[in-house]
Amino acid sequence: QVDRPEGIQEARLKLPVVGEEQKIMEAIFNNSSIVIWGATGSGKTTQLPQFLFEAGFGHPDSPNPGMIAVTQPRRVAAVSMSKRVGDELGQYSDRVSYQIRFDTNVSSKTAIKFMTDGILLREIANDFSLSKYSVIIIDEAHERSVNTDILIGMASRIVDLRESMCKEDPSVKPLKLVIMSATLRISDFTQNIHLFRHGIPPLIQAEGRQYPVTVHFARRTHRDYVEEAFRKVSRGHRKLPAGAMLVFLTGQNEIKQLSKRLKQVFKPTQRGEDFQGKLRLSAADAPLETEDLELGDPDTGPQGEDDDSDIDIVGLDDEHEDDEDFDLGEESMSSSTRVHVLPLYSQLPTKEQLKVFEPPPEGSRLIVLATNVAETSLTIPGIKYVFDCGRSKEKQYDLTTGVQTFQIGWISKASASQRAGRAGRTGPGHCYRLYSSAIYEADFPDYTEPEILRTPIEGVVLQMKSMGLHNVTNFPFPTPPSRQGLTKAEKLLKNLGALKSDGQVTELGNKLSSYPLSPRYGKMLQIGHQHGCMPYVIAVVSALAVGDLFVQESQSDTMVSTLGNGKDGIYTNSDRLEDTAREKRRKDFYRAQRLLSKHDDTSDALRYLSAICAYAYASASDEESFCEKMFLRAKGLKEASQLRSQLADIVRTNNLGLLGSYESRLPEPTEKQIKALKQIVTAGFIDNVAIRADMSPEPPEMQRKPRGAVDVPYYTLFRSRESRATEVDEKAVYIHPSSILAHLTPKEMPQYIIYSHLQQSTPSHVTGSNVPKIRMFPLVAPS
Ligand code: ADP
Ligand code: MG
């Protein structure tokens, strides 16, 4: 018998999912797998684990003693939902725990365990029958992350396995599988006989969103949606009754920009005391998770050259167009109400992210500016108004060429409805879409493409093979990866020596699969013994795997904005002060760069090494200011450091005796070691090699001389464009301006460059002669 806090008990009874409790539990008892569909906010995530708990799952002396696993695609969700369910469970709150990478509060009492899907996948690798669990709940299945998809495929097999195990040995208990989705895009699961060999699972629906959300389309769609968001949110704040706002944008730069403007126009709340939550949080599953990575490209502004001709361009004089949308017939807040503006994006330190769950200061309006991190799973209390820009930044990966792009594009209709749903979680709400219904109907796809079709899958393939699933095409994928993707993955794995030519996994391959990393990094760790390099290899691998550790000069927080000045062509005194600040900042930046490149000024990989090694010398209390001084990302470095000690453990297990005790403060590497390190990095990325075009066997006709390092054309070993282009511009790739090589003169540029990946950041549909450049992220320049 659970004694729930009073308010919670009442609120619970209104949830659609609670109304279906009996039907759901019957289905679970009568079937090994079931699918639950319920709109956002219907109570799936918070209630299902409690139903199971109350039915005895997870109790040591019940017929189902194993724990209840609940997976989430994101870390913040795993932590915050475990806390919420704990609160709801009254006297049993200590039975709910979470586990994310590098952090957990699991104890011997744990009955309900929230975790990221990546964590459960790793657990399968160690215990294929998942013997600790009696039920697996896979949440947010509609998001279709690679991990979720693979997990569903694995879990469907494990359910069968456990069934046959318990026929032989009655002490083994069966495993139940519950798949939960917020959209009806579930036919990939429910109609998939490959996936469920013993009949498709029953589908239970929990109808209805909890509170109604009124959707307001814009009459027109503005190209500059950040500006438009500013305009609408400002008007909304003046006109709308009390209630928190959630604004969806595509990335952290846009969020900072809008935040700054709102704080300029309205009275911001004082800097509140820091969140002193009970949650002890550290870090991160980044390599395994689907989060929006901001590999901010100084080349292109956040809004890019959006040349979509369907978009109307309108003047700013439609001031009154949305007055009726904002007139809700209720009293608006006083326009002097303070605004409590909080950002929410994945690169933000977790501590900062969790601030959105705290009540805003008395008498202020909470305005959360978020990327699609906030699209599903999280309930931010009190959100009544959603402003949706209708776009998101998605990582696309070209399966043939391996070029990745971060494109800002329309979201799917399903996502738009998820976003709108955020407004109806704790009461009736309104969603203001910054796009017209015509564009929505014509241009928004119904659903987002599953991630497995747009991401490299060598890690997945190797993982499966080393688990004994030799024929990857036989794996019950909800959506199978493309043949191109598979071929590319197998080719790379063979190059790395992880697979034999017949596709069987090698002994090396098995070792590589034990690292929670891309096989490329595993390879570097496996060959890292020479010249006592191993501690350095571990350090550089952790830094590279977390990636994006450097703050660009133009991106830093204290960056002096160009917004607000120059608007009227007036150059003020404060502008002059800003110029001086900018000058100083630039000097600091170059000083930091010099320090980090002192071992080798042509290798970005070694810059990563310097960063993580220097970070280890900063004292624990000093880490943040150290990072700020060195233009480093504190969250990334913390995560990289945790990964570093985890990898040291794995290396020690894999290679008995080859690594002494773990020491984070390393002496400077010797010259010999630096040379060896470069070779080791090269071995992991051997296929990612580019040659300076003018030094290649077929040097191109150069129309004009490159003006800087970033204009020097290189050719990659494998073609990097689909088209059979002949123009230099179309065939070549160039270094990314964030590279350490960018300061060289064109002449000094190395003949060969090993790079980690290629990226094209402007939309590929941009018309005209201006073909967007493909940029490589260099690692080392082999000499
Ligand atoms: P679903 O998983 O179906 O989207 P949830 O179980 O996450 O729904 O949430 C159900 C309801 O519980 C929400 O609509 C909201 O009313 C309430 N709720 C969930 N989390 C919180 C929270 N942290 N604070 C306040 N209310 C919450
Ligand atoms: Mg949920």
**What is the percentage of the chain residues whose pLDDT exceeds 70?**
85
Residue corresponding to tokens 């036919």: 187
**Stretch 617-639: mean pLDDT:** 88
User: What is the C-alpha separation between 433 and 422, in angstroms, rounded?
Assistant: 13
Helix/strand/coil (H, E, C) string of 617-629? HCCHHHHHHHHHH
Q: Which of 28-37, 253-262, 711-720, 739-748 has the lowest mean pLDDT?
A: 711-720
User: What is the C-alpha separation between 247 and 226, in angstroms, rounded?
Assistant: 10
Binding site membership of 83 for ligand 1 (Cβ less than 6 Å)? no
Residue 47: nearest ligand to its CA? 1
Residue among 46, 48, 81, 184 to mutate when testing ligand 1 (max atoms within 8 A of CB): 46
- Note the pLDDT tens digit of each residue in 586-598: 888 888 888 888 8
- Note the pLDDT tens digit of each residue in 2-61: 888 888 888 888 888 999 999 999 999 999 999 999 887 789 999 999 999 999 999 988
Binding site membership of 418 for ligand 1 (Cβ less than 6 Å)? no
Binding site membership of 210 for ligand 1 (Cβ less than 6 Å)? yes
CA trace torsion 264, 270, 274, 277 (10° rounding): -100
Gap between the terminal Cα atoms of the chain = 70
pLDDT of residue 142 exceeding 80:
yes
Given a contact cutoff of 8 angstroms between Cβ atoms, the answer to whether 396 and 405 are in contact is yes
CA trace torsion 165, 167, 173, 179 (10° rounding): 70
- Note the pLDDT tens digit of each residue in 308-317: 333 333 333 3
* 72 backbone dihedrals φ, ψ, rounded to 5°: -130, 145
**Stretch 68-85: mean pLDDT:** 92
Query: Which atom, in ligand 1's list, is nearest to the CA of 43?
Result: 6
Binding site membership of 185 for ligand 1 (Cβ less than 6 Å)? no
pLDDT band at 753 (very low <50, low <70, confident <90, very high): very high
pLDDT band at 730 (very low <50, low <70, confident <90, very high): low
Residue 208 has what pLDDT?
60
Residue 535 has what pLDDT?
93
Instruction: Write the CA distances from 577 to 560, 572, 573, 587, integer angstroms.
Output: 10, 9, 7, 16
Binding site membership of 40 for ligand 1 (Cβ less than 6 Å)? yes
pLDDT of residue 762 exceeding 60:
no
**Stretch 109-130: mean pLDDT:** 92
- Note the pLDDT tens digit of each residue in 187-240: 787 777 788 887 889 999 887 656 888 999 998 888 899 999 999 999 999 999
- Note the pLDDT tens digit of each residue in 256-290: 999 999 999 998 885 533 333 333 333 332 222 22
User: What is the C-alpha separation between 254 and 393, in angstroms, rounded?
Assistant: 11
Query: Which atom, in ligand 1's list, is nearest to the CA of 80?
Result: 23
- Mean of per-residue pLDDT scores for the chain: 83
Residue 646 has what pLDDT?
85
**Stretch 75-84: mean pLDDT:** 90
Kindly state the helix (H) or strand (E) to which residue 234 belongs, with its residue range.
helix 225-239
Binding site membership of 424 for ligand 1 (Cβ less than 6 Å)? no
Binding site membership of 43 for ligand 1 (Cβ less than 6 Å)? yes
Residue 316 has what pLDDT?
36
Q: Which residue has the higher pLDDT, 347 or 413?
A: 413
Q: Which residue has the higher pLDDT, 317 or 732?
A: 732
Given a contact cutoff of 8 angstroms between Cβ atoms, the answer to whether 163 and 32 are in contact is yes
CA of 136 relative to ligand 2 center, distance in Å? 15
How many residues appear in the chain?
Answer: 783
Residue 479's nearest CA partner among 145, 758, 156, 95 is 145
Q: Which residue has the higher pLDDT, 348 or 499?
A: 499
CA of 72 relative to ligand 2 center, distance in Å? 9
Binding site membership of 5 for ligand 1 (Cβ less than 6 Å)? no
- Note the pLDDT tens digit of each residue in 312-339: 333 333 445 566 677 777 777 776 789 9
**Stretch 394-407: mean pLDDT:** 73
User: What is the C-alpha separation between 266 and 337, in angstroms, rounded?
Assistant: 8
CA of 208 relative to ligand 2 center, distance in Å? 14
User: What is the C-alpha separation between 628 and 591, in angstroms, rounded?
Assistant: 13
The neighbouring-strand residues paired with 69 are: 113, 136
CA of 140 relative to ligand 2 center, distance in Å? 6
- Note the pLDDT tens digit of each residue in 153-190: 999 999 999 999 999 998 899 999 999 998 877 778 77
Q: Which residue has the higher pLDDT, 109 or 764?
A: 109
Residue 771 has what pLDDT?
63
**Stretch 329-358: mean pLDDT:** 83
Residue 439 has what pLDDT?
92
Residue 51: nearest ligand to its CA? 1
User: What is the C-alpha separation between 253 and 596, in angstroms, rounded?
Assistant: 25
Given a contact cutoff of 8 angstroms between Cβ atoms, the answer to whether 504 and 511 are in contact is no
User: What is the C-alpha separation between 330 and 349, in angstroms, rounded?
Assistant: 37
Ligand 1: residue whose CA is nearest its atom 24: 381
Q: Which residue has the higher pLDDT, 773 or 740?
A: 740
Structure tokens, 261: 């403007």
Binding site membership of 359 for ligand 1 (Cβ less than 6 Å)? no
Kindly state the helix (H) or strand (E) to which residue 79 belongs, with its residue range.
helix 75-88
Binding site membership of 466 for ligand 1 (Cβ less than 6 Å)? no
Residue 276 has what pLDDT?
32
pTM score over 0.90: no
Query: Which atom, in ligand 1's list, is nearest to the CA of 11?
Result: 16
Binding site membership of 41 for ligand 1 (Cβ less than 6 Å)? yes
Q: 558-567 burial, b for 16+ CB within 10 Å, e for fewer?
A: ebbeeeeeee
Binding site membership of 422 for ligand 1 (Cβ less than 6 Å)? no
Query: Which atom, in ligand 1's list, is nearest to the CA of 39?
Result: 3
Ligand 1: residue whose CA is nearest its atom 7: 45
**Stretch 603-610: mean pLDDT:** 95
Residue 719 has what pLDDT?
66
Binding site membership of 425 for ligand 1 (Cβ less than 6 Å)? yes
CA of 452 relative to ligand 2 center, distance in Å? 22
Structure tokens, 703: 């129309």
Q: Which of 206-215, 243-252, 340-349, 705-714 has the lowest mean pLDDT?
A: 206-215
Binding site membership of 45 for ligand 1 (Cβ less than 6 Å)? yes
| CB neighbour list of residue 713: distance below 8 Å, 6 or more residues apart | 692, 693, 694, 700, 706, 728, 729, 731, 732, 733, 734
